[in-house]
């Protein structure tokens, strides 16, 4: 399994847990887990708007946590 360590570290730094991050965004923690563990197809689910929302919540730019 390929883990996105940059994203995982940002979530841990800002929110402590993926659950808290998901709660803040109003989404299911399973989605966050799938994105972090690269099981969710990013192109399908993570639109530019969602990437911005995640980055804003984490206090960074989308380019810092998403490579595509």
Measured between alpha carbons, how far is 18 from 48 in angstroms, rounded to an integer?
20
Q: Is residue 25 part of a domain?
A: yes
Would you state the pLDDT for residue 40? Answer: 65
Q: Is residue 23 part of a domain?
A: yes
Q: Is residue 30 part of a domain?
A: yes
pLDDT, tens digit, 9 for 90 and up, residues 6-58? 999 999 999 999 999 999 999 999 999 989 988 766 557 788 999 999 999 99
When divided into structural domains, the chain yields a total of 1
Would you state the pLDDT for residue 1? Answer: 54
Q: Is residue 28 part of a domain?
A: yes
- pLDDT confidence tier of residue 60, bands split at 50, 70 and 90: very high
CA dihedral 22, 5, 46, 18 (to 10 degrees): -10
Q: Is residue 68 part of a domain?
A: no
Q: Is residue 57 part of a domain?
A: yes
CA distances from 52 to 1, 55, 57, 65, 67 (A): 25, 5, 8, 10, 13
Q: Containing domain of residue 50, as a range?
A: 5-63
Q: Is residue 59 part of a domain?
A: yes
Q: Is residue 31 part of a domain?
A: yes
Give the pTM: 0.87
Measured between alpha carbons, how far is 1 from 33 in angstroms, rounded to an integer?
12
């Amino acid at each position: 399994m390929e883990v996105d360590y940059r994203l995982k570290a940002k979530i841990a730094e800002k929110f402590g847990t993926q659950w808290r991050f998901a709660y803040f965004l109003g989404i299911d923690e399973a989605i966050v887990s799938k994105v972090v563990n690269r099981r969710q197809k990013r192109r399908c689910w993570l639109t530019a708007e969602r990437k911005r929302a995640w980055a804003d919540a984490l206090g960074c730019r989308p380019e810092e946590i998403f490579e595509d």
